A and B are shown apart, each in its own frame.
Chain A
Amino acid sequence: MPSDGKDADHAPGSLETPRSGRARSLRRLTPYLRPYILRLVLIWLATMTGLATSVAIPLVGKEIIDGPVGQGHGDALLPLGLLALALGAVEAFLTFVRRWTQTKAVLGLETAIRDDLYRHLQRLPMSFHGDWQSGQLLSRATTDLSTIRRFSGFGLLFLVMNLVQLVAVTVLLLRMYWPLGLLIVAAAVPIFAVSLRFEKRYRRVSRQVQDMQGDIATYVEEAALGIRTVKAFGRRPHVFAEFDTAARDIHRVSMDKVRLASRFFTFLEVIPNVTLAMVLLLGALAVGAGTLTLGTLVAFITLMLQLVWPIASLGYILAMAQEAMTSADRVMEVLDTEPDIVGGTEVIDRPRGHLRFEGVGFRFPGADRPVLRDVWLDVRPGETVAIVGATGSGKTTLTALVPRLLDVTSGRVTIDGRDIRDLSLPALRSMVATAFEEPTLFSMSVRENLTLGRDTVTEEELREALETVQATFAYDLPWGLDTRIGEQGMSLSGGQRQRLALARAVLVKPRILVLDDTLSALDVETEALVEQALRGVLADATGLVVAHRASTVLLADKVALLRDGTITHLGLHQELLSQVPEYRELLAQDADFDHEEALR
């Protein structure tokens, strides 16, 4: 998902946090590490001891060269050699301990945050999900969490380790022979400065490349999804030209990146090599003057080379730290969003399903016009009301208020006389089932899609529901009800998907059934059969049916005409058809079509 990075920048509410507060989000994640306290102690112990051994090995080499070799008596050679052997083994073992031990801690951190993030996102209401694209949320749950994991596992450790190693070795070198030590300090400064600057520029170019990858992904997406349109008009050359321009742009900026990196990495090698030449020159002179032993010179050179990586990687690690802070901010931004739809505590023991809208209004936050205003509607138990209205009149919003996918901004919705905001969410949502116009199917088995994991549903109930909605085709799929459907499984036609979504709602045997133009993708014959069967279901339940076609309206006992966010007429279908011109306009498809003419 290359465009994630880009999308993320446009995420709502992602404000530039002031620098001082940046580390705070990251620190707030530390409780996730608490279960691993002992491991953390062990990791740090292993790290520091390992560091000490890696510095000690060249010193043993010095002793060997200056002692047994330089002075020509071999007694000390064996113990020193065994010491080097032991130190080498210990260093490797400590590295192993550090890496092995941290696995559980950092993965545990990542996994726990991801679980919590998912839990929290499921609680956040529709209004939140309407603002956030799922790609933005996904990049927080994957990319950002791995960034945090990498920093807490490696970045933080190496930051401290490198600094300690830097200071320790420099002090050691200065103490061994201070003029050479100073030379090395002098050489370290440009490496450090350049690597910091490089990191900044490199990140800027990388971000640019990432943005361009996002752009190119858009072209790719549209060319893939719109392939029929492209082919229908024969616009292949046109579409290719656009993509080509984007690809060439990416090529150009990537080459900038290549040049930048090539200069930096070359610089990183040339400075230590030049320093090496200088150390050799001055060191040899010092050996000649007798102020330095040969062994020290060799140890000096070996230790000096140990410094190159810690210095050069500082820039990288600091950049990693910044990235982790940004990621933590992005994660906390979601976790800090409080769900504004929370359930009450009441439960209706024996619901009758008496649904009332009492002066209901709804306005999206920041919108200047309300979607719904002063809606009054009384649906008695067992009764079915059809909602008819033009596109944008607020029908779908009205249906979303019943299971509290959205909350009224004025007035109230009641079931059996109780404000639905006082009911617990599970209680409310087990009374109300909705079949949406856009059927949502998950990449799971048909069975799981229908039962949604409730194992109390029997095979008979399943069959009954599938028969009701004319969806017995599900039994003829290659693995019957165990066939995976959805994006990652068998592809079904729009009508088949709508019927399965309808079966899901019917299966719940709800007190209140909401159908949001659920039959739009069915052909005329199937629609008639499904409607016939739905009559039986709706006879027992209270129904709220959004309708675009006259045939669907006939499922209802009465019709409510929704206009500009409020109910202007309520009555029988035939009444409205003969009395309300606007209603006729909406439902009579044959306004231009001469009945008499056709029938003759």
Chain B
Amino acid sequence: MSGTATEAKDGARAGAATEPGRWRGVAAEKQDELPDKVSLLLRARSRRLLGDLLRPHRRAITLLIAVIVVSNAAALAIPYLVKVGIDSGIPPMLRHEGTGTLLATVAAILVAALTQAFTRQAFLQISGRIGQDVLLELRRRVFDHFQRLSLAFHERYTSGRVIARLTSDIDAIAEMLQSGFDSIVTAVLTMFGTAVLLLVLDLPLGAVALVPLPILLLFTRWFRRESSVVYRRTREAVALVIVHFVESMTGIRAVQAFRREPRNQEIFQELNTGYRDASARGMHLVAVFMPGIKLIGNLTVAVVLLYGGLLALHHAVTVGVLAAFLLYLRQFYEPMQEISQFYNTLQSAGAALSNLSGVLEERPEVAEPDHPVPLPRPRGAVRFEGAEFSYIDGVPILPRLHLEIPSGQIVALVGATGAGKTTVAKLIARFYDPTAGRVLLDGVDLRDLDEATLRRAVVTVTQENFLFTGTVADNIRFGRPDATPAEIEEAARAIGAHDFVAGLPDGYQTEVGKRGGRMSAGQRQLVAFARVFLADPALVILDEATSSLDVPSERLVQRALRTVLTGRTALIIAHRLSTVEIAERVLVMDAGRVVEDGPPDRLITEAGHYAGLHRAWLDSLS
């Protein structure tokens, strides 16, 4: 195996040479989540999760264990019965004493075969059922948990990783359940059972047959270690290939416009070669391991033949025992080879479980109250009482804010990027909790309101105005899932979206396409406003809701806005002042403080910040 070791080292050096080049730059945060050391022993939190998921299936698992023991016993009995048939069935026949023993043995084999078939089917179905139930529960649990976690978490964690957890990680576990779980259980049980039986059948011959066992175990351990490393490297290499490929294709316009093709090809080939080398190492590892197991198996068979033949010659063992040994050794070595195929699946499932258990241990930063206060008729009055907020300790975004917004007032929030406008909005919507002080809605601390009550009272619209797959009606209905078609249409009419919706190919039943791709930004915004209108909240927050629109669309949306905001409290954030014009009151923020506060007419006349902003805006129009 010294050749292999050298080969492995060469592989490592080649891997180092293809380290991603300087072009990749330094990442601020480690993005991949492959554990440093993949081990068969799961992390504590993974074990906890697994135990939690399996607990409801305790009885099924007990049954499963019973079934598998019977199944394996039956499977192991067959070669033994063949031995009995040869040793005890044939001699009486040769002595013309009848075929009774032989027939009995054959009947026993048939019974064993059928028992084994029956129990094995039961085993596969019970274990399959448990596996699928666990998978369903895991999917539901993780999805629900992600939805409960705060926006702060989602901003940190990014949507790409949320998607990866719920797709590729879950798939990795499904793959393990489907392709390998049963073979690994069978392999382990068969090995133990066979070893015992070999010793029982014939102690000296059995001992000889089991001599290679320690070598086998050491060899397997070597393989496991090496393949963990290779697996990790391959995953990293393929991830780089995929990222580069996808970015080149989605950014093909920039690639071609800036003649980046040759450079891209250079980088791609480097990454592709890196992936090839990592895979080659994996394949070489299997190329050593599988024949290695085969070699040990074949040599054992030969030695058993030789030594067994010698024993048989001296009538120390029978031919039947020899035949049984040959059959058992086959059963012994074949599953070992399968384990090598299965090992990667097991590793990715272990890594996936570790990722998922990590997510499930995240606690929502915005917790539901233990004793929620009811708010039967929300009016939308907001009060900040010394509210502070900081993302990082010691760096306050909002230092002690006092603010009172009476019910029904339309307030505009202006200021430069980073002045804290969006933070104010997020605190009112309780996407975050203040780090000190409190925020009140109609005199009730937001932390005392349950989610349903709060969301009925307060709705935020951002420029994203996400549209879900489905029809236009479905998307408006998102504001109130029990709305009738008539109510949906009414909402659309109220904000002036009915005309454009009616003009779509299938009216309200038109599919919006992926992320509303078949509609313009202005149309998407109107659908989002119809949603708000239908949801009928007491307080509306518009966070840069119109900033990405062109002038005609913006004008359309402005008109809708007046309708939406009538009779509600509203907080409008915008850096284009045109959106602000319907406000009764303007708050100018700077470095987390309100520096100017008053009706827009008055602020314009004062020589303050707002007057300056307004002048700059007018200049930009001329």
On whether the beta carbons of B309 and A528 are closer than 8 Å, the reply is no
Q: SS class of chain B's interface: helix, strand, loop or mixed?
A: helix
Whether A118 lies near B268 (C-beta < 8 A) is yes
| Complex CA–CA separation, A139 to B102 (angstroms) | 58
Cβ distance A566 to chain B, nearest Cβ, rounded Å: 19
Q: Which of B302-358 contact A (CB under 8 A)?
A: 302-303, 305-306, 309-310, 312-313, 319, 322-323, 326-327, 330
Tell me how far the C-beta of A233 lies from the nearest C-beta in chain B, rounded to whole angstroms: 6
A222 and B24 form a contact (CB under 8 A): no
- Do the beta carbons of A218 and B268 come within 8 Å of each other? no
Q: Nearest A residue to B286 by beta-carbon distance?
A: A99
Bound-state Cα–Cα, A595 to B106, Å: 104
Judging by beta carbons under 8 Å apart, are A92 and B265 in contact? no
CB <8 Å contact, A57 and B469: no
Within 8 A of B (CB), among A365-390: 390
Known A69-B313, A258-B125, A440-B253; contact A284-B90, beta-carbon cutoff 8 A: yes
A277 interface residue per 8 A CB criterion: yes
Beyond A100-B284, A240-B143, A390-B550, whether A444 also contacts B24 by CB under 8 A is yes
A95–B82 alpha-carbon span in the complex (Å):
30
Partner of B253, one of A135, A229, A405, A487: A405
Give min CB distance, B136 to chain A, whole Å.
Answer: 5
Interface contact A391-B522, CB-CB below 8 Å = yes
Q: Is the CB of B555 within 8 A of A592?
A: yes
Within the assembled complex, what's the spacing in Å between the Cα atoms of A82 and B535? Answer: 85
Does A575 belong to the interface (CB within 8 Å)?
no
> Beta-carbon contacts of B504-541 to A below 8 Å, as 1s and 0s?
00000000000100001110000000010001000000
Chain A residue at smallest Cβ distance from B107: A277
Contact of B265 among A72, A122, A391 (CB under 8 A): A122
Q: Can you list, as one digit per residue, whether each of A79-114 has a CB less than 8 Å from chain B (1) or not (0)?
A: 011101101110111011001100110011011001
Q: Is the interface of A mostly helix, strand, loop or mixed?
A: helix
Is A445 within 8 A of B82, CB to CB?
A: no
Indicate the size class of the contact surface on chain A.
35 or more
Report yes or no: A111 in contact with B520, Cβ–Cβ below 8 A: no
Contact B326 A298 (CB under 8 A): yes
Q: How far apart sit A95 and B136, CA to CA, in the bound complex (Å)?
A: 41
Chain A residues within an 8 Å CB radius of B390: none
Q: Nearest A residue to B330 by beta-carbon distance?
A: A305
Given contacts A61-B305, A391-B520, A525-B416, contact A218 B90 (CB under 8 A): no
B40 at interface, CB cutoff 8 A: no
Residue of A whose beta carbon sits closest to that of B515 = A225
| Chain B positions within 8 Å of A434 at CB level | 257
Given the interface pairs A228-B460, A488-B243, the reply to whether A103 lies near B26 with Cβ below 8 Å is no
CB contact between B89 and one of A284, A442, A495, A527 (< 8 Å): that residue: A284
Choose the segment among A28-36, A264-272, A314-322, A354-362 that binds chain B (4+ C-beta atoms closer than 8 Å): A264-272
Interface pair B469/A85, CB less than 8 Å apart:
no
Interface flag for A508 (CB, 8 Å): yes
Given A110-B276, A301-B327, A445-B26 in contact, is the A64-B128 Cβ separation under 8 Å? no
Instruction: Say if the beta carbon of B76 comes within 8 Å of chain A.
Output: no
Query: A137 and B249 in contact (CB under 8 A), knowing A213-B171, A298-B326, A482-B26?
Result: yes
A251→B288 CA distance, assembly (Å): 39
B255 at the interface (CB under 8 A from A): yes
Bound form: Cα–Cα A445–B313 in Å: 76
Q: Of the candidates A69, A257, A302, A593, which one forms a contact with B319 in the assembled complex, judged by CB atoms under 8 Å apart?
A: A69
Kindly state whether residue A330 has any CB partner on chain B within 8 Å. no
**Interface membership of A138, Cβ < 8 A:** yes
Instruction: Report whether A236 and B147 are in contact in the complex, using a CB–CB cutoff of 8 Å.
Output: yes
B contact residues around A490 at 8 Å (CB): 27-28
Q: B residues within 8 A CB of A294?
A: 86, 90, 319
A521 to B558, CA, bound (A): 19
Interface residue? B223 (CB, 8 A): no
Please state if A115 and B268 are interface contacts (CB–CB under 8 Å): yes
* Residue contact A589 to B298, C-beta cutoff 8 Å: no
Please tell me if the beta carbons of A301 and B82 are within 8 angstroms of each other in the complex: yes
A244–B166 alpha-carbon span in the complex (Å): 13
A8 at the interface (CB under 8 A from B): no
Contact B129 A255 (CB under 8 A): yes
Q: Are A134 and B85 closer than 8 Å at their CB atoms?
A: no
Answer yes or no: A430 CB below 8 A from chain B CBs.
Answer: yes
One digit per residue, 1 when the CB lies within 8 angstroms of any chain B CB and 0 when it does not, for chain A 177-189 equals 0000000000000
Contact status of A281 and B106, CB under 8 A, knowing A126-B252, A273-B113: yes
Given contacts A265-B124, A281-B106, A429-B256, 11 further A-B contacts (CB under 8 A): A107-B279, A217-B166, A225-B515, A233-B455, A236-B148, A244-B140, A259-B125, A270-B117, A429-B258, A442-B247, A454-B263
Q: Can you name 8 A-B pairs with beta carbons within 8 Å?
A: A107-B276, A230-B147, A258-B124, A273-B116, A294-B319, A298-B322, A448-B24, A589-B554
